[in-house]
Amino acid sequence: MNSAEASFAPKGELVYYSDPSDEKLKDLKLAYKFDIYSEKPISRQYVFVDAKNGNVLGTDAIIHEVNTPGTATTVYSGNRDIVTDSYNGSYRLRETGRNAGTAVETYNARKSTNLSGAVDFTDSDNVWNNVNTNKDQYATDAHWGAEMTLDYYYSKFGRKSIDNNNFAIKSYVHYGNNIFNAYWDGSRMLYGDGSSTTNGGKPLTAIDVCGHEITHGLTTKTANLVYQREPGALNEGFSDIFGNTIERWARPTKASWTLGEDFSYVIRDMSNPNAYRQPDTYKGTYWKDATTTGCAVPGQTTNDYCGVHTNSGVLNFWYYLLVTGGSGTNDNGFAYNVSGIGLDKAGAIAYRTLTTYLTSTSTYANTRTYSLQAAADLYGAGSNEVTQVTNAWNAVGVGGGTSPAGLVAAANNASSYTISPNPATDRFTVSFEGKAGKGAVELISLTGKREISEKVNIADGTNRLEIQIPSNILPGVYIVMVNGEKAGSLIKK
């Protein structure tokens, strides 16, 4: 009992002890009863030690942990239901067993970066509406945001926390002093209180930030995308995707395509990346050269690890178009038209791409390939979902939407195309109305690979272009593209 690390040496009280199963008290033993309290982890229990031989006979917990439904007046998301822990006549922002066993714990770092001094946030009645000068009211945003992030992944994909094995989600609010940032540090969430000069000193505990940062943890446990160059941009992009998706899922009446609007400092806009100096087209306006030629040594302060927070805009815009749809002309001069498939389907495709197919060094080209495979897995090879994933990638200039200079659009309406015969064995003809100029016909697999890219001459009026199919092309479903525009699907026998 006389530990050098103990803050005090407890004094024992001589008592008689009986095992709880000994209902008739037939085996009483003389014992010392010690009142043992621990701050970390917090616990208090009576420990009974045999007075004769020093053996521990038993313990009796004094602090009782009980998951208890509570309510919180969050700053950014209004009144929300949360789950807390009832202990010692009070309540703290802890929960055990969420979604089949995941712990959710939210602590007060007390404006320090030394987490050994962190303490619990507490409330006397489990109605968390206490506003104070320390801004403790922002803690419930972090707690609820963590709960909703876990609930989204569990309800949509059956995932039990970031590792699918009940990894505890611990959040530390009031991290450091005047820090305008939030982090996933590899094992927990750290939330700064914002900057008085940047955003009026509002803590960064908004739900889109919660979802974004915790998704970094999920990415580490799955694809483990290297945090630099294109893999790093994808890492950031997937966190933006799911941070925004979780916000839309948890509070659909108060959602937007921007990130950071809650704490008065918009960081990015997924619907218009250019507005915040991000590219919406691969290697287009605002793209940062992430090659070793353009960015020799990745660094945090020198080049943002070769543009990870900038080049993520391409993935963000791809996802926005996939969810909502849209039309326009990208930086390559390609006219695109995407029909949105909605949040649930787009989220499922993005999740499967990230957790099933991507690896640590995946690029944008890989992500196109694997997202098409994910869409085919979920909705079928010839599905509209596969078509719209293709269209969205073409819109952002990845694997399509990059027609060579001098090519003219064959038509504005894909329904004007006819492909025959279909199915085909060794050749097919694509017919359409066009304008005179140079053109190209491509045959693209559902994984995004160009199997054929043939330059052609387009005439005014009706065109019938016969394309030879190489013998090494395997049977399956392929997309026929004319000048970057989808002409239809072709079945190769």
Residues tagged active-site = 213, 309
- Of 32, 37, 62, 36, the C-alpha closest to 49 is 32
User: At 79, which helix (H) or strand (E)?
Assistant: strand 78-87
C-beta separation of 448 from 399 below 8 A: yes
* Cα atoms in the Cβ-side hemisphere of radius 13 Å centred on 191: 34
- DSSP single-letter state for residue 10: P
Q: Phi and psi for 239 in degrees, rounded to 5?
A: -65, -40
The beta-strand segments (E) located in 372-484 are: 418-420, 427-434, 437-445, 450-458, 461-468, 476-482
Q: How far apart are CA 50 and CA 37, in angstroms?
A: 20
In the chain the first and final C-alpha atoms are separated, in Å, by 79
User: At 141, which helix (H) or strand (E)?
Assistant: helix 139-157
| 385's tokens | 């979902």
Enumerate residues 6+ apart whose C-beta is below 8 A from 63.
42, 43, 44, 45, 87, 88
Q: How far apart are CA 140 and CA 355, in angstroms?
A: 29
- Of 344, 303, 304, 301, the C-alpha closest to 322 is 344
- DSSP single-letter state for residue 112: E
Total residues found in the chain within this entry: 493
Instruction: Give alpha helix (H) positions in 188-336.
Output: 207-221, 229-250, 300-311, 313-324
No. of H helices and E strands in the chain? 8, 26
Q: How far apart are CA 46 and CA 34, in angstroms?
A: 5
Q: How far apart are CA 349 and CA 372, in angstroms?
A: 8
Q: Exposed (0-12), middle (13-18) or buried (19+): which is 23, by Cβ within 10 Å?
A: exposed
| 419's tokens | 């492909």
Q: How far apart are CA 311 and CA 230, in angstroms?
A: 8
